[in-house]
Structure 1
């Protein structure tokens, strides 16, 4: 089926999921929308996150998408069930895939989760983890400085290391967890720095790979995979300035980005 997959995020973070989708489903077209103008979502009230997410979804529905990926943990926590009930296309979030990947990796049943204030406050990850294995111990920590830093393109170097080291000090000092979930799709852009701070003994989990695998399974189940032979042309939209978005997209996706457009989202 030659309809595109829609991917939404609060900014550039969802490109980490888009990258995995491109790798695992190289024939599928993607339409990506990053709400960089109103990023970050983490500190915002639940009602506001729901409103912004629905506005992005409505924009992509007009592009005739066949599946929606909510590549934002905060939006997933607050809107996944709502959208699954309302839409007649499959809707996939990033929390359940991330939880499953972490449980496969942990050896001591001690899992840490870092994310935005909204994601940590929602307790979506502890609920998902305990829904799979009630014996898992979960430590949650909000890292509000990470998303603004990534959105500015600061993902490596001394400044990034210092911010990450300060933010993760409390969870590192306990030396309990053996697995750390990056509970925000912006955070994999800081993965090397986070790994350096936490040490090699801690497994770092990004939900992108598992999410892409789930997309593949669901498209196969619904018989909506594209079965032709092509190199697809993806489209990228942003609600804010595109210069930083383009630089990070080219760096992270490692492909030329020919089409980046400003999205005119209808707001209430």
Structure 2
């Protein structure tokens, strides 16, 4: 693609998307931006959240991206109007997931695994065509990943508690509002019978392919992380990121 493909996040939950895209399109230039200095936004007053989101979108658009991929539900919720004014194609994680679920799992049993603030905002629930929808808050599970505690007694216990309401049910699809929840697949598989867990990275990769021509897939590959915490701190917190990348710090 002629230009940068930008991935906009707040915390680290969208890193799996960035990694998948970089692997799927190795000749493209990707720039991933987050705002770890102020994350999590949910602990801040609404007016401050709106200003942070405004700044996030403005900051990423200064990079003149050819495509903008938004992987943060918070940015989607609070920045909806500003995103409508962006003059490049925008791929939103909620739109991509809803389209995938309704196309492949209509009238099925679905688990929506997302942060409490996302569930409360009702970004997804009313848009699914489902038989049964089970909403499960992922806040504590995300902390497990961030603290490097996957595949431990604590992670198995946390998953068992979170999924208690569906342990004996047949689930067709588990939707991960935060893409990095895929890192808990082993624990979830231990307690829940399910057919599929969304790989949001591949879902968005397919959406990205729709706006790219074959000629545009022949550029020079580059992966840049734009973050406002020190490089060492970012690398420590993003311990599961398995693609090569350069870091550009900003204030």
Q: Structure 2-normalised TM-score? A: 0.86
Q: Name 1:179's counterpart in structure 2.
A: 173
2:216 is matched with 226
Residue equivalent to 2:51: 51
1:99-248 map, 5 Å: 99-106=98-105, 109-129=108-128, 133=129, 135-173=130-168, 175-199=169-193, 201-220=194-213, 226-230=216-220, 232-243=221-232, 245-247=234-236
Give 1:12 shift: 1.7
The CA distance in 2 between the partners of 1:77 and 1:172, in whole Å, is 31
Q: Shift in Å at residue 202 of structure 1?
A: 4.0
Residue 249 of structure 2 corresponds to residue 256 of structure 1? no
Contact 1:95 1:128 in 2 (8 A): no
User: 1:66 & 1:103 partners in 2: Cα distance?
Assistant: 28
Once residues 64 and 194 of structure 1 are traced to their aligned partners in structure 2, the CA distance between those partners, rounded to angstroms, is: 39
Deviations along 1:117-170, whole A, 9 cap, x unmatched? 1211121212221xxx3x543221212212333233333322222222222212
> What's the counterpart of residue 84 of structure 2?
85
Q: 1:249, 1:42 → 2: CA distance? A: 20
- SS state at 1:30 partner: strand
Aligned-pair CA distance for 1:241: 4.4
How many pairs are equivalent?
251
Deviation at 1:181, TM superposition (A): 0.6
Task: Give SS of 2:68's match.
Answer: strand
Instruction: Please report how far the alpha carbon of residue 60 of structure 1 lies from its aligned counterpart in structure 2 after TM superposition.
Output: 1.5
State how 1:56-75 maps to structure 2 within 5 Å.
56-75=56-75
2:175–2:197 contact (8 Å) kept in structure 1: yes
RMSD: 2.7
TM-score calculated relative to the size of structure 1: 0.81
SS at 2:27's partner residue? coil
The superposition leaves residues 3-22 of structure 1 with CA deviations (integer Å, 9 ceiling, x where unpaired) of 11111112221111112212
| Correspondences of 1:19-34 after superposition (within 5 Å) | 19-34=19-34
Richer in strand (by share): 2
Write the deviation string for residues 40-79 of structure 1: whole angstroms up to 9, x where unpaired.
3456565544332221221121222111111123333443
- 1 CA distance for matches of 2:167 and 2:238? 30
| 8 Å CA contact retained: 2:226, 2:247 | yes
Distance 1:227 1:144 in 2: 37
Partners of 2:99 and 2:2 lie apart in 1 by: 30
8 Å Cα contact 2:14/2:179 also seen in 1 = yes
Q: CA deviation at 1:32?
A: 0.7
* Contact map agreement 2:23 2:243 (CA 8 A) in 1: no
